[in-house]
């Protein structure tokens, strides 16, 4: 079952269970995917639609946005809003693959650097592209970029 189908099924189940918070979050996810589909049509790639990797990247961005919002709300003393954002993170996280541990991430970086024969910072883009192709949604690429830079720099 594709990720898009899983999201649709989860939305139907949440609606039947009358789980308002979960329904709201799942509707938001489906709307974000539809928006991306529409944007692709505008670029002339409408027949393809959003692929699995792009949906995973979108979900990852949504999680980061929610985490940042929760942090800001906590700093402002708006704990109820922070809790709502973190609850959305939990729902979105159900559809993301398991995040790699720090050791697994380091091993993946080492493997790709060795496989590509990367030896300088100029090769960072190739290493990042290879990692994104294999591990979309499984690692934080902002952190990975810093690790690669430290390793190759």
State the total domains in the chain.
Answer: 2
Q: Are residues 85 and 124 in the same domain?
A: no
84 lies in the same domain as 110: no
Q: 80 and 121 share a domain?
A: no
Q: Are 40 and 16 part of one and the same domain?
A: yes
| pLDDT confidence of residue 21 | 93
Domain boundaries, position 114: 102-152
Structure confidence at residue 82 as a pLDDT band (50, 70, 90): very high
Q: Are residues 12 and 55 part of one domain? A: yes
38 & 66 share domain = yes
In this structure, are 14 and 68 located in the same domain?
yes
User: Is the model more confident about 57 or about 86?
Assistant: 86
Residue 109 sits in the same domain as residue 77: no
CATH for 107: 1.10.10.410
pLDDT tens string 58-69:
998 899 899 999
DSSP secondary structure of the chain: --HHHHHHHHHHHHHHTT-HHHHHHHHHHHHHHHHHHHHHHHTT-TTT---HHHHHHHHHHHHHHHHHHHHHHHHTT-HHHHHHHHHHHHHHHTTSPPPPPHHHHHHHHHHHHHHHT--SGGGHHHHHHHHHHHHTTTS-HHHHHHHHHHHH-
- Note the pLDDT tens digit of each residue in 15-56: 999 999 999 999 999 999 999 988 888 877 656 678 888 888
- Please indicate, yes or no, whether residues 46 and 72 belong to a single structural domain of this protein: yes
pLDDT over 90 at 76, yes or no: yes
What is the average pLDDT value for the chain, to the nearest integer? 89
């Amino acid at each position: 079952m594709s990720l898009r189908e899983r999201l649709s099924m989860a939305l139907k189940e949440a609606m039947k269970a009358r789980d308002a918070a979960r329904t709201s979050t799942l509707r938001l996810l489906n709307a974000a995917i539809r928006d991306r589909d529409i944007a692709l049509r505008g670029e002339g790639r409408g027949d393809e639609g959003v692929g699995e990797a792009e949906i995973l990247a979108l979900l990852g961005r949504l999680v980061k946005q929610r985490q940042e919002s929760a942090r800001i709300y906590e700093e402002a003393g708006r704990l109820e809003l922070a809790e709502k954002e973190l609850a959305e993170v939990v729902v979105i996280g159900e559809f993301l693959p398991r995040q790699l541990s720090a050791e697994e991430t380091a091993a993946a970086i080492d493997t790709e650097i060795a496989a590509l024969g990367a030896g300088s910072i100029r090769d960072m883009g190739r290493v990042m592209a290879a990692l994104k192709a294999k591990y979309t949604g499984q690692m934080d690429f902002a952190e990975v970029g810093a690790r690669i830079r430290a390793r190759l720099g």
